[in-house]
Structure 1
Amino acid sequence: MVFGRSLTETRLISSANYVRTELPTRLAHRIRDMQTLPYVVVTNPHISQVYELYYKAFESLRRVREINTLDDNERFCKKISETLQEHLTVIPKLAMGVIECRDLMKAEDMDKFMNTILRSRISRRVIAEQHLALTETFNSPWHFPDSPTTTGASHEFVGEVFLKCNAKEVVERCGEEVRALASVAYGPSTSLPSIKLSGHLDATFPYILSHLEYIIGELLRNSIQATVEKQKMGGTASALPPIEVTICEAPQHVIIRVSDQGGGIPREILPYLWAFSKGPRSNERLENLHHVPKMAATLQEVRVSQDLPESHPTSTGNSSATRHLHDTSLSSLSSRPPNLRLGMGLPLGRVYAEYWAGSLEVHSLEGYGVDAFLQISKLGNKNEQLTMRASMDAV
Structure 2
Amino acid sequence: MIRSKVVRLISQLKVDRSVLHWAERSPTSVTLRDLCQIGLDRRRRREHGVFLHRELRIRLAQRVLELESLPYRLGEQSGIRDVIEWYTGFVHLLEDSPVPHTDEQDEDFTHLLSKIFEEHSEVIQAMAFGVQDLIAELQEDYSLVQAEVDGILRRFFTARIGMRFLLQHHIESFRNRDGHSGILQIACDPEVIAQKAAKDSSMLCRAHLGQAPHIAIHHTNPGTFTYVPMHLHYMLTEVFKNSCRAVVERHADGFDDPLPFVHCHIVHGYEDVTIRISDEGGGIARAALPNIWKFMYTTSKKTPWSGRRDDFRTKPGDSACNPLQRPKQGGVLAGFGVGLTLSRLYAQYFGGDLKIMSLDGFGTDVYLHLNRLGTACEDLPQGVLYSPSMRDSSALEEVPQEQLLISADEEAFLRRERCTEEFNQLEGQASSDFYYMEDHPIASPDHETQTMK
Task: Give the TM-score range, shorter chain.
Answer: 0.7 to 0.9
Partner residue, 2:207: 184
Q: CA deviation at 1:288?
A: 4.9
Alignment partner for residue 2 of structure 1, among 14, 23, 37? 37
Taking the aligned partners of 2:207 and 2:361, their CA distance within structure 1 comes to 27
Taking the aligned partners of 1:362 and 1:285, their CA distance within structure 2 comes to 24
Alignment partner for residue 88 of structure 2, among 55, 77, 80? 55
Per-residue CA deviation, residues 195-251 of structure 1 (Å, 9 max, x unaligned), is: 223343413111111110010011111111111110136x89973221111112111
Which amino acid in structure 2 is aligned with residue 375 of structure 1? H
Partner residue, 1:272: 291
User: Against the structure 1 CA distance between its residues 391 and 162, is the aligned structure 2 distance closer, same or farther, given a 3 Å change threshold?
Assistant: closer
User: Against the structure 1 CA distance between its residues 115 and 62, is the aligned structure 2 distance closer, same or farther, given a 3 Å change threshold?
Assistant: farther
CA root-mean-square deviation: 2.9
Which amino acid in structure 2 is aligned with residue 363 of structure 1? M
Per-residue CA deviation, residues 272-331 of structure 1 (Å, 9 max, x unaligned), is: 211114568799353254366444442634135xxxxxxxxxxxxxxxxxxxxxxxxxxx
Partner residue, 2:79: 46
Which amino acid in structure 1 is aligned with residue 305 of structure 2? L
Partner residue, 1:121: 160
Which deviates more from structure 2 when the two are superposed, residues 178-187 or residues 253-262? 178-187
Alignment partner of 1:300: what SS?
coil
Taking the aligned partners of 1:53 and 1:35, their CA distance within structure 2 comes to 13
Taking the aligned partners of 1:350 and 1:172, their CA distance within structure 2 comes to 20
Partner residue, 2:369: 375
Task: Identify the structure with the greater helix proportion.
Answer: 2
State whether structure 2 residue 104 is matched by structure 1 residue 71. yes
Contact 2:243 2:279 (C-alpha < 8 Å) held by counterparts? yes
Per-residue CA deviation, residues 163-221 of structure 1 (Å, 9 max, x unaligned), is: 1111222111211221122222223xx4x322223343413111111110010011111
Q: CA deviation at 1:359?
A: 0.5
Taking the aligned partners of 2:342 and 2:205, their CA distance within structure 1 comes to 21
Partner residue, 2:325: 300
Partner residue, 1:162: 185
Q: CA deviation at 1:70?
A: 1.2
Partner residue, 1:22: 55
Q: CA deviation at 1:390?
A: 7.9
Which amino acid in structure 1 is aligned with residue 69 of structure 2? T
Q: CA deviation at 1:349?
A: 0.7
Which deviates more from structure 2 when the two are superposed, residues 293-302 or residues 238-247? 293-302
User: Against the structure 1 CA distance between its residues 276 and 387, is the aligned structure 2 distance closer, same or farther, given a 3 Å change threshold?
Assistant: farther
Gaps of 5+ in 1: 138-153, 305-335
Partner residue, 1:209: 229
Which amino acid in structure 1 is aligned with residue 353 of structure 2? S
Alignment partner of 1:392: what SS?
coil
Alignment partner of 1:273: what SS?
helix
Taking the aligned partners of 1:54 and 1:183, their CA distance within structure 2 comes to 37
User: Against the structure 1 CA distance between its residues 237 and 163, is the aligned structure 2 distance closer, same or farther, given a 3 Å change threshold?
Assistant: closer
Contact 2:298 2:335 (C-alpha < 8 Å) held by counterparts? no
Taking the aligned partners of 2:73 and 2:236, their CA distance within structure 1 comes to 37
State whether structure 2 residue 147 is matched by structure 1 residue 108. yes
Taking the aligned partners of 1:172 and 1:367, their CA distance within structure 2 comes to 28
Q: CA deviation at 1:378?
A: 1.1
Taking the aligned partners of 1:18 and 1:117, their CA distance within structure 2 comes to 22
Taking the aligned partners of 1:80 and 1:390, their CA distance within structure 2 comes to 19
How many residues of Structure 1 are paired with residues of Structure 2 in the alignment?
342
Partner residue, 2:341: 347
Matches within 5 A, 1:315-330: none
User: Against the structure 1 CA distance between its residues 278 and 261, is the aligned structure 2 distance closer, same or farther, given a 3 Å change threshold?
Assistant: closer
User: Against the structure 1 CA distance between its residues 16 and 59, is the aligned structure 2 distance closer, same or farther, given a 3 Å change threshold?
Assistant: same
Which amino acid in structure 2 is aligned with residue 30 of structure 1? R
Alignment partner of 2:258: what SS?
coil
Which amino acid in structure 1 is aligned with residue 174 of structure 2? T
User: Against the structure 1 CA distance between its residues 156 and 359, is the aligned structure 2 distance closer, same or farther, given a 3 Å change threshold?
Assistant: same
User: Against the structure 1 CA distance between its residues 282 and 52, is the aligned structure 2 distance closer, same or farther, given a 3 Å change threshold?
Assistant: farther
State whether structure 2 residue 305 is matched by structure 1 residue 286. yes
Gaps of 5+ in 2: 1-35, 378-383, 398-453
Partner residue, 2:442: none
State whether structure 2 residue 175 is matched by structure 1 residue 136. yes
Partner residue, 1:308: none
Q: CA deviation at 1:107?
A: 0.8
User: Against the structure 1 CA distance between its residues 207 and 237, is the aligned structure 2 distance closer, same or farther, given a 3 Å change threshold?
Assistant: closer
TM-score w.r.t. length of structure 1: 0.78
Q: CA deviation at 1:60?
A: 2.8
User: Against the structure 1 CA distance between its residues 82 and 390, is the aligned structure 2 distance closer, same or farther, given a 3 Å change threshold?
Assistant: closer
Taking the aligned partners of 1:236 and 1:57, their CA distance within structure 2 comes to 48
Which amino acid in structure 1 is aligned with residue 166 of structure 2? I
TM-score w.r.t. length of structure 2: 0.68
Alignment partner of 1:155: what SS?
coil
Partner residue, 1:200: 220
Runs of 4+, deviation exceeding 4 Å: 62-65, 235-238, 266-269, 278-283, 387-391
Q: CA deviation at 1:125?
A: 1.4
Q: CA deviation at 1:2?
A: 1.2
Q: CA deviation at 1:383?
A: 6.0
Which amino acid in structure 1 is aligned with residue 157 of structure 2? L
State whether structure 2 residue 262 is matched by structure 1 residue 250. no
Taking the aligned partners of 1:282 and 1:238, their CA distance within structure 2 comes to 22
Taking the aligned partners of 1:299 and 1:130, their CA distance within structure 2 comes to 13
User: Against the structure 1 CA distance between its residues 185 and 129, is the aligned structure 2 distance closer, same or farther, given a 3 Å change threshold?
Assistant: same
State whether structure 2 residue 259 is matched by structure 1 residue 240. yes
Which amino acid in structure 1 is aligned with residue 227 of structure 2? Y
Contact 2:128 2:296 (C-alpha < 8 Å) held by counterparts? yes
Which amino acid in structure 2 is aligned with residue 110 of structure 1? V
